[in-house]
Amino acid sequence: MGIISEFKQFVQRGNVIDLAVGVIMGAAFGKIVNSLVTDVLMPPIGFLVGGVKFTDLKFALPANPLNPKLEPATINYGNFLQTTFDFLIIAFCIFMLIQAMNKMKKKQDAGAAPPPEPTTQEKLLMEIRDLLKVKSP
């Protein structure tokens, strides 16, 4: 089997396509949550803590003595805080989504019909099996 046919077979499997759809949906979901955090949640939080815009928080390093005309380098810890908030909210949203899916699955499993009663023939075969197990050394 050639590499091209193997690759074609690999791509045509359902789980690969499902994975690709999941990655695309995850990226879109991440953008939505990022906008929620950046544009909706962080401005009021910044207002409550004294009008701070988290992405503007940084620590400026001293000027370079070899070239004082250069802008001093900065450690942008505000961006790190913003990204951490994004991650926590995305993780919480995914947790809530999985919780909802588990509840739906439990309801679906609870509503499923119990397995059918074995037929007379199946019961007889199970009895024979059990008797053979008892007689075996």
Per-residue pLDDT tens listing for the chain (137 residues): 688 888 877 777 767 777 888 888 888 888 887 888 888 888 888 788 887 777 788 988 888 888 888 888 889 898 888 888 878 887 887 888 889 988 988 888 777 777 788 899 998 999 999 888 887 66
Could you give the CA distance from residue 45 to residue 47 in angstroms, rounded to a whole number?
5
Q: What is the pLDDT of residue 99?
A: 92
Q: What is the pLDDT of residue 137?
A: 62
Please give the CATH superfamily to which domain 3-113 belongs.
Answer: Large-conductance mechanosensitive channel, MscL; domain 1 (1.10.1200.120)
Residue type for position 121:
Q
- DSSP conformational letter for 53: -
Could you give the CA distance from residue 56 to residue 34 in angstroms, rounded to a whole number?
17
Could you give the CA distance from residue 35 to residue 86 in angstroms, rounded to a whole number?
9
Could you give the CA distance from residue 82 to residue 35 in angstroms, rounded to a whole number?
11
The residue ranges of every structural domain in the chain are 3-113
- Spatial CB neighbours of 46, under 8 Å, sequence gap ≥ 6: 52, 53, 54
